[in-house]
């Protein structure tokens, strides 16, 4: 086993000695490992070890401060409600010197969490109940953090969901076309341009003071919720790197993006990719069940639009990265980012055809 990884693991105040470390292949940004202890074989991991991608997250110190504050706050809330804070929130493990993260001589940043056993995440939607439970978990997350002081959070990636700025970045890359890839993505580039007029709607409303800033997760993919093996409930929201002030609509929209697609985010057979209306309904029911009283009428009006916008935004980010030479999202094959873009745009187009039906569902549950 990799001695450097073991050495890194040893920097943390683990109660047990690391015996084996295994890479977890998911996630496009950080590197994640499961740490096994106590003879390892057949036992669940005890810890999660993660290298923070500091090219994406430029201030790991600020990011870790956010996570520490949010998880400490959640622990108190969950205990206060009679929940289990060891299962319902992530829990950081500090280093042996009491730091939130460990810095290596090469300038890498590492952190550790306690592993939550008897629960999993699923990359691909398993059915209506799965998305209902995961949507509830994100709704509850927002609800639990409703009185967390916004001022206590750093922007870990400024303008993360600022769609107009994402559009400008996209246009710059198209104009420069550094890899000469634009001709291979002509249809997708055109797809963006024909929709460019819609991208500033949420940001404009935020700037006019019509939509409230809240503590949001900002990366509410369906696989960022741990599902309890026994109860099937969404017990814990994970991947807290982008928890920062944002719009509730970013979280709802991003969840619909991943949670209504019965296929993989990088599925090449686009016939399998669609916005599944029954999943959408399950998500609306789950999410509004937790947030109905807190959301404003305008937020509810814009739920369907946000699903469209955030799916469009992330498709555009994949396309930008493809054109730019795959510098941001980790890829596992050539054109991986273009494939990802295509699934997102297929979803966008499908939502356009189903917009009225989606709105009627929202009306029913709001």
When binding is defined by CB under 6 A, the residue of 219, 251, 266, 321 that contacts ligand GN1 is 219
Min CB(27)–Mg ion separation in Å: 6
Q: Is 286 in the site for ligand GN1 (CB under 6 A)?
A: no
Binding mask 52-71 for ligand GN1 (x = CB under 6 A): ----x---------------
When binding is defined by CB under 5 A, the residue of 88, 188, 239, 254 that contacts Mg ion is 239
Give the chain as a 3 state SS string.
CCHHHHHHHCCECCCCCEEEEEEECCCCCCEEEEEEECCCCCCCCCEEEEEECCCCCCCHHHHHHHHHHHHHHHHHHHHHCCCCHHHHCCCEECECCCCCCEECCCCCEEEEEECCCCEECCCCCCCHHHHHHHHHHHHHHHHHCCCCCHHHCCCCCCCCCCHHHHHHHHHHHHHHCCCCCHHHHHHHHHHHHCCHHHCCHHHHHHHCCCCCCEEECCCCCHHHEEEECCCCCEEEECCCCCCEEECHHHHHHHHHHHHCCCCCCCCCCHHHCCCCHHHHHHHHHHHHHHHCCCCCHHHHHCHHHHHHHHHHHHHHHHHHHHHCCCCCCCCCCCCHHHHHHHHHHHHHHHHHHHHHHHHHHHHHHC
Residue 265 interacting partner from Mg ion, ligand GN1, none (CB closer than 5 to 8 Å by kind)? ligand GN1
Neighbouring-strand partners of residue 113: 48, 92
Number of residues binding to Mg ion, judged by CB under 5 A: 2
Q: Is 169 in the site for ligand GN1 (CB under 6 A)?
A: no
Our CB check for ligand GN1 shows the closer of 221 and 300 to be: 221
Our CB check for Mg ion shows the closer of 219 and 339 to be: 219
Q: Is 299 in the site for Mg ion (CB under 5 A)?
A: no
Residue 169 interacting partner from ligand GN1, Mg ion, none (CB closer than 5 to 8 Å by kind)? none
Our CB check for ligand GN1 shows the closer of 19 and 335 to be: 335
Min CB(297)–ligand GN1 separation in Å: 27
Name which of residues 246 to 265 contact ligand GN1 (CB under 6 A).
265
Min CB(230)–ligand GN1 separation in Å: 26
Q: Is 226 in the site for ligand GN1 (CB under 6 A)?
A: no
Residue 251 interacting partner from ligand GN1, Mg ion, none (CB closer than 5 to 8 Å by kind)? none
Q: Is 182 in the site for ligand GN1 (CB under 6 A)?
A: no
Residue 28 interacting partner from ligand GN1, Mg ion, none (CB closer than 5 to 8 Å by kind)? ligand GN1
Q: Are strands 102-103 and 109-114 parallel, antiparallel or unpaired?
A: antiparallel
Name which of residues 11 to 30 contact ligand GN1 (CB under 6 A).
27-29
| Site of interaction with Mg ion (CB under 5 A) | 219, 239
| Site of interaction with ligand GN1 (CB under 6 A) | 27-29, 56, 219, 221, 239, 241-242, 265, 314
């Amino acid at each position: 086993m990799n001695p450097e990884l073991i050495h890194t693991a040893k920097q943390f105040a683990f109660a047990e000695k690391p015996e084996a470390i295994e890479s977890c292949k998911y996630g496009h940004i950080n590197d994640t490992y499961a740490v096994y202890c106590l003879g390892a074989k057949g036992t669940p991991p005890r810890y999660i070890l993660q290298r923070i991608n500091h090219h994406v997250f430029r201030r790991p110190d600020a990011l870790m401060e956010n996570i520490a504050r949010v998880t400490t706050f959640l622990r108190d809330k969950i205990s206060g409600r009679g929940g289990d804070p060891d299962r319902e929130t992530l829990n950081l493990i500090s280093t042996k010197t009491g730091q939130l993260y460990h810095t290596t001589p090469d300038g890498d940043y590492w952190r550790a969490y306690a592993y939550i056993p008897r629960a999993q995440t699923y990359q691909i939607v398993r059915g209506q109940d799965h998305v209902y439970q995961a949507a509830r978990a994100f709704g509850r997350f927002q609800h639990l953090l409703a009185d967390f002081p916004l001022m206590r959070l750093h922007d870990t990636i400024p303008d993360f969901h600022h769609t107009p700025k994402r559009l400008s970045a996209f246009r710059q890359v198209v104009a420069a076309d550094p890899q000469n890839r634009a001709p291979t993505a002509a249809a997708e580039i055109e797809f963006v341009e024909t929709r460019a007029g819609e991208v500033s709607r949420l940001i404009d409303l935020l700037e006019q003071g019509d939509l409230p800033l809240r503590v949001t997760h900002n990366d509410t993919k369906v696989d960022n919720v741990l599902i309890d093996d026994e109860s099937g409930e969404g017990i814990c929201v994970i991947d807290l790197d982008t928890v920062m002030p944002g719009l509730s609509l970013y979280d709802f929209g991003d969840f619909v993006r991943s949670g209504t697609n019965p296929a993989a985010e990088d599925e090449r057979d686009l016939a399998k990719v669609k916005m599944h209306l029954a999943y959408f309904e399950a998500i609306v029911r789950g999410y509004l069940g937790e947030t109905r009283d807190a959301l404003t009428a305008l937020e509810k009006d814009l739920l369907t639009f946000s699903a469209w916008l955030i799916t469009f935004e992330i498709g555009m980010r994949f396309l930008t990265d493809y054109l730019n030479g795959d510098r941001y999202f980790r890829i596992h094959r050539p054109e991986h980012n273009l494939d990802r873009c295509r699934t997102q745009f297929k979803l966008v187009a499908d939502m356009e055809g189903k917009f009225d039906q989606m709105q009627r569902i929202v009306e029913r549950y709001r």
